[in-house]
Amino acid sequence: MTDRTNPPKPTASELEMLRLLWQLGPSTAKQVHQAAVASRPDMAYATVLRLLQVMHTKGLLTRDESQRAHVYAPAQAQDSLQTSLIKDLIHKAFSGSGKELVLAALRGPRNAKRARGDPVDPGSGKIDVSANRKSPGNENNAERNVRTPCPRPAAAHPSRGGNR
């Protein structure tokens, strides 16, 4: 039996379905699929239906079975689930400190730019865009899409069926 008072944390795909249901309101699998295809054309109806069924089993969704086409709705309001996810993140990743979460969020983009190797002016913290400009004729192998060969044969790689 699923504990409906504290539903499990949704996966990325389940969060996508929840976002759609929060926008649409109670909906059939067909309606959710039509909305999902707008942002992900490769999303199959069977995938959406299966996700909704699994989410219902996990307690993330309620399901009205009174008609032939079942109607799904989020079991939790959007703000309630978001608050729960943030509290969980603070507890797990920041030792319970909301202040540390805020500080990490504030310094995040600046550190991400440094991790990409973008030149950052230490005084202002801004990216120096002039350093990224290239002069004509100054190409490197990456810009010409030159590929380097793999150091070992494809058959020896475990994910390609070799040497198991």
For residues 120 and 136, give the distance between their C-alpha atoms in angstroms, rounded to a whole number. 24
Looking at residue 139, the DSSP 8-state letter turns out to be: -
Q: Given a cut of 80, is residue 55 above it in pLDDT? A: yes
Instruction: Compute and round to an integer the Cα radius of gyration of the chain.
Output: 24
Q: Which residue has the higher pLDDT, 161 or 99?
A: 99
Kindly report the average pLDDT of the chain as a whole number: 76
Domains observed in the chain:
12-76 (1.10.10.10), 80-116 (no CATH)
Q: Which residue has the higher pLDDT, 95 or 35?
A: 35
Angle at 48 between CA 87 and CA 36, to 5 degrees: 80
pLDDT of residue 6: 63
pLDDT of residue 58: 94
- Residue 67's pLDDT band, with cuts at 50, 70 and 90, is confident
- pTM comes to 0.58
Q: Which residue has the higher pLDDT, 38 or 135?
A: 38
pLDDT of residue 11: 92
- Residue 132's pLDDT band, with cuts at 50, 70 and 90, is very low
Q: Given a cut of 70, is residue 32 above it in pLDDT? A: yes
